[in-house]
């Protein structure tokens, strides 16, 4: 660098030197000349710029006497001459950028003076640029806030780098760190290059909230120097994500009869956006059945579902709730889910017994197995709480039979009935479910056994002996026979009649029986001397269908009012 500059400086200098000397002398002014040198900036103190004495044709030996010196105002401090050698040398470090603005040639005018005779020479020193500055940015970091939905191709102007060096030593190029989203475009300005960041692939805040890039500016020096600018990109949120529930369908089981206000589930939807774009409000869907609003309560901020009314399995055992989660972005976005709430049965209903038919009277001659009642048993609960055990009181001649149809039972006779022994029964039917604790219910069937004519009239005594004194008054009642019947009503309504069977006499001609009472009257007055004894039968018949009857044999003995009756008895026996 220094070498090149020096060589170039000298070659160019000679041509000018000759030209200037000719020009100046021809005007006829005092003898002076102009010489031009080149020296790079930043060279060491004492570095020789050129031998002025030789170039001006001055005799070196006389320089001291002629007080050879530099007389150039402020620039005087930069250079000095050596009176022993005639060299112009650098007195202190030169900074080109301090002396000159811009990238044009940096020229220092020096006046060299010798006396005896007085001569003034003009010397020009051109300070050549050295690449002693790196490109630099006005700030260390540049920050951009970019909405995630910004379209690709959008441009963001970056700071330009400055480099006070001249020409190729100033900023020549920019490079961006490799990345997925941005590329660099360089616009040529009036006197510099302007770097522009171009979005080439859309941003997604939910994937990455910020990007750190850096751009490096290079100058054209050899080797080049560089400067760096960090670029920080904050991705701003757009409402581009709807709230999302962790599941599409939630299956929840809840016991019936839980207390009001019980929290049964807490929904949780999430929204990866930011701020109000991720603030969620929960609401019931519009398609919900009306009664679901009355039964369940949804907290719009927490997503908690509570019961606000009694849940009754028997009324409804499943509810389907559509729930929406809406964010507060503009416009808002929405996510939906379905919550299926199954109501679990608890044993809160005892079995119910319904007597669908019953015969309140049962004939006593019914055969075992005769159906006397049909009943159905139901339980509103489910599972084991439905399952029913049915019983009937054990001390009755009845039992339960299952039927062809589920839950329908029949009560049938178990053994022979006898109204005369027991005419009424209370049958207690109890149903118990298998829940914990078990619940039960019972029903009573009252059965009356109705009479069948299965008993004959029955006389107290048979045979019946009767003693009657002779000379009785004709037409008077002499005695009565009586029979009873265990049956009832018609089956026990008895009528009496006399039959002459087993009798030698025509008793019907002198005896009469009251058919209703069994009272027997003698139609004539008896005479012991002509009739001592006679016998007959009285038949008692009930009014059943068919009627039943029985008879009694009556022995009548006429007593002599003067004789002893025992004689007659002995004779008879
Ligand atoms: C740019 O960031 C990197 C990494 O954070 C850091 O090392 C470097 O010094 C930064 N550059 C500037 C110019 O601040
Ligand atoms: C919702 O779920 C997310 C992710 O599982 C969790 O980070 C957050 O704390 C939950 N919010 C609530 C209110 O439960
Ligand atoms: C009276 O009863 C006996 C024994 O039951 C029977 O054999 C007889 O035929 C009956 N007499 C009449 C008249 O019914």
DSSP string, 397-446: SEEEEE-SSTTEEEEEE-S---TTT--EEEEEEEEEE-SSS--EEEEEEE
Domain boundary pick from 402, 419, 450: 450
For the cut 80, the answer to whether the pLDDT of residue 432 exceeds it is yes
Q: Tokens 């001569």 appear where?
A: 119
Nearest to 423 by CA among 489, 483, 493: 489
Alpha carbon of 144 to ligand 1 centroid (Å): 16
Report in angstroms the alpha-carbon separations of 568 from 78, 522, 533, 548, 562: 199, 21, 9, 37, 13
Alpha carbon of 214 to ligand 1 centroid (Å): 8
Output the six-digit token pair for 266.
């807490």
pLDDT: which is higher, 196 or 527: 196
Kindly state whether residue 224 falls inside one of the protein's structural domains.
yes
**DSSP H or E segment with residue 469:** strand 464-469
Kindly state whether residue 529 falls inside one of the protein's structural domains.
yes
Q: Give the per-residue pLDDT at 9.
A: 35
| DSSP structural state of residue 560 | P
Do 287 and 307 share a domain, yes or no? yes
Alpha carbon of 511 to ligand 3 centroid (Å): 20
Do 497 and 539 share a domain, yes or no? yes
Kindly state whether residue 104 falls inside one of the protein's structural domains.
yes
Report in angstroms the alpha-carbon separations of 501 from 457, 498, 534, 535, 555: 19, 9, 12, 9, 13
Q: In testing the pocket of ligand 1, which one of 143, 214, 215, 232 has its CB within 8 Å of the most ligand atoms?
A: 214
Count of domains for the chain: 5
Both ends of the chain: CA-CA distance in Å?
Answer: 185
Q: Give the per-residue pLDDT at 345.
A: 86
Domain boundary pick from 185, 203, 236: 236
Kindly state whether residue 568 falls inside one of the protein's structural domains.
no
Q: Give the per-residue pLDDT at 386.
A: 80
Contact status, residue 171 vs residue 186, Cβ threshold 8 Å: no
- Tell me the pLDDT band of 7, cut-offs 50, 70 and 90: very low
For the cut 80, the answer to whether the pLDDT of residue 570 exceeds it is no
Number of Cβ atoms within 10 Å of the Cβ of 53: 25
Contact status, residue 305 vs residue 338, Cβ threshold 8 Å: no
Q: State if residue 272 touches ligand 2 by the CB under 6 angstroms criterion.
A: no
Do 39 and 94 share a domain, yes or no? yes
Beta-bridge partner residues of 362? 449
- Write out the residue range of the structural domain in which residue 495 sits: 458-559
Alpha carbon of 250 to ligand 2 centroid (Å): 16
How many whole angstroms separate alpha carbon 81 and alpha carbon 256? 113
Alpha carbon of 230 to ligand 1 centroid (Å): 6
Q: State if residue 244 touches ligand 2 by the CB under 6 angstroms criterion.
A: no
Least confident of 132-146, 193-207, 396-410: 396-410
DSSP letters for 274-343? -GGGG-EEEEE-TT--HHHHHHEEE-TTT-EEEE-S---TTT-SEEEEEEEEEE-SSS--EEEEEEEEEE
Could you report the per-residue pLDDT of 347-384, keeping only the tens digit for each? 888 899 999 999 889 999 999 999 999 999 988 887 77
Which residues lie with the beta carbon below 6 Å from any ligand 1 atom? 140-141, 214, 228, 230
Do 156 and 252 share a domain, yes or no? no
Domain boundary pick from 425, 450, 475: 450
Nearest to 355 by CA among 390, 396, 331: 390
Nearest to 195 by CA among 215, 224, 181: 215
Which residues are CB-contacts of 298 (< 8 A; sequence separation ≥ 6)?
282, 283, 284, 304, 305, 321, 323
Q: Give the per-residue pLDDT at 437.
A: 85
Do 297 and 361 share a domain, yes or no? no
Alpha carbon of 215 to ligand 1 centroid (Å): 11
For the cut 50, the answer to whether the pLDDT of residue 62 exceeds it is yes
Alpha carbon of 497 to ligand 1 centroid (Å): 142
Closest-CA residue, ligand 1 atom 2, reads 230
Kindly state whether residue 569 falls inside one of the protein's structural domains.
no
Contact status, residue 217 vs residue 226, Cβ threshold 8 Å: yes
Mean pLDDT estimate for the chain: 87
How many whole angstroms separate alpha carbon 42 and alpha carbon 127? 9
Do 17 and 124 share a domain, yes or no? yes
Kindly state whether residue 570 falls inside one of the protein's structural domains.
no
Could you report the per-residue pLDDT of 297-346, keeping only the tens digit for each? 999 999 999 999 888 888 888 999 999 999 999 899 999 999 999 999 88
How many whole angstroms separate alpha carbon 30 and alpha carbon 117? 9
For the cut 70, the answer to whether the pLDDT of residue 19 exceeds it is no
Which residues are CB-contacts of 57 (< 8 A; sequence separation ≥ 6)?
none
Do 6 and 124 share a domain, yes or no? yes
Least confident of 326-330, 383-387, 475-479, 500-504: 500-504
Nearest to 216 by CA among 167, 172, 182, 180: 172
**DSSP H or E segment with residue 17:** helix 2-27
Nearest to 37 by CA among 110, 129, 95, 96: 110
How many whole angstroms separate alpha carbon 424 and alpha carbon 420? 10
Do 373 and 466 share a domain, yes or no? no
Report in angstroms the alpha-carbon separations of 438 from 352, 387, 400: 13, 10, 21
How many whole angstroms separate alpha carbon 150 and alpha carbon 146? 7
Kindly state whether residue 566 falls inside one of the protein's structural domains.
no
Q: In testing the pocket of ligand 3, which one of 542, 551, 552, 554 has its CB within 8 Å of the most ligand atoms?
A: 551
φ, ψ for residue 277, nearest 5 deg: -65, -15
Q: State if residue 456 touches ligand 3 by the CB under 6 angstroms criterion.
A: no
Residues 17, 20, 22, 28: what is their CA dihedral angle, to the nearest 10 degrees?
A: -130
Do 357 and 340 share a domain, yes or no? no
Do 547 and 472 share a domain, yes or no? yes
Kindly state whether residue 564 falls inside one of the protein's structural domains.
no
Could you report the per-residue pLDDT of 534-553, keeping only the tens digit for each? 889 999 999 999 999 999 99
Q: In testing the pocket of ligand 2, which one of 243, 246, 250, 268 has its CB within 8 Å of the most ligand atoms?
A: 268
Model confidence pTM above 0.75: no
- Closest atom, ligand 2, to C-alpha of 303: 13
Burial of residue 215 (number of CB atoms within 10 Å: 0-12, 13-18, 19+) = buried
How many whole angstroms separate alpha carbon 124 and alpha carbon 50? 11
Beta-bridge partner residues of 353? 377
Nearest to 102 by CA among 187, 163, 189, 41: 163
Please state, for a pLDDT cut of 70, what percent of the chain lies above it.
Answer: 91
Do 389 and 337 share a domain, yes or no? no
Q: State if residue 499 touches ligand 3 by the CB under 6 angstroms criterion.
A: yes
Q: State if residue 502 touches ligand 3 by the CB under 6 angstroms criterion.
A: no
Do 168 and 270 share a domain, yes or no? no
**What is the arithmetic mean of pLDDT over 121-132?**
92
CATH number reported for the structural domain that contains residue 437 in this entry: 2.60.40.60
For the cut 70, the answer to whether the pLDDT of residue 410 exceeds it is yes
**What is the arithmetic mean of pLDDT over 452-460?**
93
């Amino acid at each position: 660098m220094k070498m090149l500059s020096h060589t170039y400086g000298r070659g160019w200098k000679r041509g000018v030197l000759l030209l200037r000397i000719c020009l100046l002398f021809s005007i006829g002014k005092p003898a002076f000349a102009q010489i031009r040198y080149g020296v790079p900036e930043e060279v060491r103190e004492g570095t020789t710029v050129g031998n002025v004495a030789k170039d001006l044709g001055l005799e070196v030996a006389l320089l001291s006497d002629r007080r050879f010196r530099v007389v150039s105002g402020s620039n005087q401090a930069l250079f000095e001459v050596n009176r022993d050698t005639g060299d112009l040398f650098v007195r202190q470090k030169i900074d080109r950028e301090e002396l000159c603005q811009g990238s044009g040639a940096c020229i220092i005018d020096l006046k060299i003076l010798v006396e005896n005779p007085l001569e003034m020479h003009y010397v020009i020193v051109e300070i050549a640029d050295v690449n002693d500055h790196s490109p630099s940015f006005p700030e260390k970091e540049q920050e951009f806030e970019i909405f995630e939905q910004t379209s690709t191709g959008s441009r963001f102007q970056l700071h330009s780098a400055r480099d006070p060096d001249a020409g190729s030593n100033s900023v020549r190029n920019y490079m961006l760190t490799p990345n997925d989203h941005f590329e660099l475009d360089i616009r040529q300005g009036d006197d510099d290059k302007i770097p522009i960041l171009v979005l080439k692939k859309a941003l997604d805040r939910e994937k990455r909230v910020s990007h750190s890039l850096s751009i490096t500016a290079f100058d054209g020096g050899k080797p080049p120097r560089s400067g760096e600018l960090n670029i920080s990109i904050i991705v701003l949120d757009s409402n581009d994500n709807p709230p999302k529930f962790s599941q599409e369908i939630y299956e929840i089981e809840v016991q019936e009869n839980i207390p009001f206000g019980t929290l049964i589930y807490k929904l949780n939807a999430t929204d990866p956006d930011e701020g109000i774009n991720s603030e969620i409000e929960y609401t019931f869907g519009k398609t919900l059945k009306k009664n679901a609003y009355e039964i369940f309560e949804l907290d719009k901020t927490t997503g908690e579902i509570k019961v606000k009314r009694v849940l009754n399995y028997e009324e409804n055992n499943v509810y389907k709730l559509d729930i929406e989660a809406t964010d507060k972005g503009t416009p808002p976005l929405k996510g939906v889910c379905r919550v299926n709430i199954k109501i679990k049965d608890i044993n809160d209903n005892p079995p119910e017994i319904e007597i669908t038919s019953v015969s309140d009277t049962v004939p006593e001659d019914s055969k075992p197995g005769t159906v006397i009642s049909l009943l159905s048993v139901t339980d509103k609960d489910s599972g084991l709480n439905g399952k029913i055990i049915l019983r009937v009181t054990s001390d009755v001649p009845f039992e339960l039979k299952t039927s062809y149809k589920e839950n329908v039972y029949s009560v049938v006779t178990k053994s022979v009935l006898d109204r005369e022994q027991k005419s009424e029964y209370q049958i207690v039917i109890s149903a118990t479910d298998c829940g914990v604790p078990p619940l039960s219910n019972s029903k009573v069937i009252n059965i009356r056994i109705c009479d069948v004519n299965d008993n004959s009239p029955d006389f107290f005594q048979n045979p019946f002996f009767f003693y009657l004194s002779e000379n009785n008054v004709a037409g008077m009642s002499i005695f009565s026979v009586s029979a009873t019947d265990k049956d009832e009503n018609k089956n026990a309504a008895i009528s009496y009649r006399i039959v002459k069977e087993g009798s030698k006499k025509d008793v019907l001609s002198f005896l009469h029986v009251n058919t209703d009472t069994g009272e027997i009257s003698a139609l004539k007055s008896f005479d012991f001397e002509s009739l001592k004894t006679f016998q007959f039968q009285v038949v008692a018949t009930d009014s059943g269908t068919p009627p039943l009857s029985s008879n009694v044999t009556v022995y009548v003995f006429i007593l002599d009012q003067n004789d002893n009756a025992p004689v007659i008895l002995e004779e008879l026996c």
